[in-house]
Amino acid sequence: MPLFAFFAYKKAEKNDNPFLNKKFDTPFEVPPFEKIMAAHFKPAYLKGFEEQNKEVKAIINNPAEPTFENTIKALEYSDELLTKVSRVFGSVNSANTNDSLQAINREMAPLLSRHRDNINLNDSLFRRIKAVYENGDKFKLTSEEKKVLDDTYKNFIRSGAALSPEDQDKLRKINEELSLLSVRFGQNLLAETNGFKLIIENQEDLSGLPESVKAQAASMAKSLNMDGKWVFTLQVPSMTPFLQYSDRRDLREKLFTGYFMKGDNDNEFDNKAIIARIARLRVERSKLLGYDSYADFTLEKNMAKTPEIVLDFLKQVWSAAVPVAKAEVAVQQELIDREGGKFKLEPWDWWYYTEKIKKEKYDLDDEVTRPYFKIDNVIEGMFYVANRLYRLDFKERTDIPKYHPDVKTFEVTRDSKHVGILMIDNYPRSSKRGGAWCGAYRGQSRDKNGKMIYPVVTMVTNSTPPAADKPALLTSTEAETLFHEFGHALHQLLSNSTYPGVSGTSVARDFVELPSQIMEHWVLEPEVLKVYAKHFQTGEIIPAEIVDKLDRSSKFNTGFATVEFLAAALLDMEYHTLTEPADLNIREFENKTLDKYGLLPEIKPRYRSTYFNHIWAGGYASGYYSYYWSEMLDADAFQAFKETGDIFNKEVAAKFEEEILSKGGTREPLEMYIAFRGKEPGVDALLINRGLK
């Protein structure tokens, strides 16, 4: 049983709750996972509520005139225990959950919502905040303090502080219900993902699959006590190779259908009613707060500012991508016809025929490159880039607690001085949600007295695991994902803020992907490949001809990749630009939306509604576009390095750290970007980067 899950089921003794100690008694105060039990979380949450309520009461009852120090700063540091327990619970529940943790999540979600509302809707507290905001010029505030003050005031307004008591009551009920619905959505999705398995019993049904893929499936079967069989799951490292290589079209259809019907099977884990309710409540909430739609409410804080700007941006890219995707469809259909296949290209055929065309055109496929992308080497490659750019060093530590045996932990230093802790958790398991993400068990900030608090960062992926006698060998896309999440980690590790509310990745949603996506540009740079892309058996550096093929094929299939993403982003915007509450039929709404924009029938959106965790449970509602918005930024930002002729240019790297990575959310994102680049970005950089112009 995974490490944390074992302790989750132990009975907690009285007075042994690690969260209730002043500090964690561990190296660098990393959470003592081996001592944390499921039974500790609720008491710690309740104590956190109690402590913050006392702090807030003290702020309200302070007889002195409201100042930044006695109101805004005091509020900023009022939730230390609650933040500590919330960060640990949220991170472990995402990466290594179990029934106990899921039950706690369902119980605590409405309590957290109620607690937040009790603070955000406290009229006495808001009057003090408003007084400081309206008299801000009287105080000698730093630029960071001005941003914290502005954010605090606006967040209270956006949370309903200025509403009538009757409308505040309505808002409380909506917030509480939404908190539970999001939890239920995520738990249903995990159950649906774990519930589907393609079990193969006959060797002939493996036709076309490479040996490495068969070995991976056999290893999965063995772990499920199905020795002698092969099991494929809906986890991407298992599913994608099957879709790429299997000659069995019927089995490809079965596996792909299992994937795109997640949450839409009219069973106990169906998400359609949950989505319809969330969408309705978000409209009602936005209307209460004075906004036309949820997108208007959300985007006010982003770089894009309005739904109209976002939709115009998405349509520009859509118009450039659809003709490219149509050309790709034609090439695939031609190949099907040439081979004598008497059928029309369907979504479950795309990966298979794309792989054939890629092999034919470039003599390249994932099985050619995998031996050179051993996961440990890829991680060393990430560290090499960070060292060249930011002088960071990474030393593996085995004396630090971890929540699962798969986790690798590194101390990060610069010039021999501690910077933070980085935990890397790479392989799929039933206790981990899908996808990849980066979080923090502790964020960077300074305490009330100005002492530095160093971050404890976690980056989580679902990469191809080891199989049989081979180590974990990645595709180039999986290597890119590692670099991407590492970019988020660097944003947190190099943060140099004072206040926790504006540190690290606490930035606008459509700016947060810039630090992650710019890191992807180094993955296939020849200078970097020479460092880490070494054959796992011979140690041979990846041959120049393979590097050349990777470069020439980098824009291959770009129509598909762009259109499937944009279809999901447009679906997100259609849900969240609704201006009136409606009882949606989710299948009907989704189909109408995709027909409206002319999605090709051969392509499904990257995320259908019922498994679109980003927007229903992941904080990206009316913000999924932000990955491409940030690509507009990162493509332009990487040019700052390329223009110097040195992808490790120290001056450019120092400026990127100073103006972007270290600043967190202490300035407006466009101000930060212009301070780094000297100009605003444009959509052309994105189109060129994607090979669409």
Question: Residues 6 or more apart from 76 whose CB is under 8 A from it?
Answer: 148, 152, 499, 500, 501
Question: How many other CB atoms are found less than 10 A from the CB of residue 225?
Answer: 7
Q: Can you tell me which residue has the tokens 């930011």?
A: 390
Overall size of the chain counted in residues? 693
- Which tokens belong to 7? 């302790």
- As a whole number of angstroms, the longest Cα–Cα distance in the chain is 85
Question: Residues 6 or more apart from 459 whose CB is under 8 A from it?
Answer: 422, 423, 424, 425, 436, 437, 438, 482, 485, 486, 488, 489
Q: Is 459 helix (H, G, I), strand (E, B) or coil?
A: strand
Between the CA atoms of 505, 507, 509 and 514, what dihedral angle is there, to the nearest 10 degrees? Answer: -70
- Which tokens belong to 591? 């189909």
d(CA 605, CA 564): 4
CB 433 within 8 A of CB 100: no
Kindly name the residue from 145, 485, 602, 631 that is annotated as catalytic. Answer: 485
CB 473 within 8 A of CB 375: yes
d(CA 566, CA 91): 29
β pairing state of 456-460 and 417-425 = parallel
Q: Is 618 helix (H, G, I), strand (E, B) or coil?
A: coil
Q: What share of the chain is helix, strand, coil (3-state, %, to 5)?
A: 60, 5, 35
Interhelix angle 558-576/626-642, rounded to 10 degrees, is 130
Q: Is 485 a catalytic residue?
A: yes
Q: Indicate which residues carry an active-site annotation.
A: 485
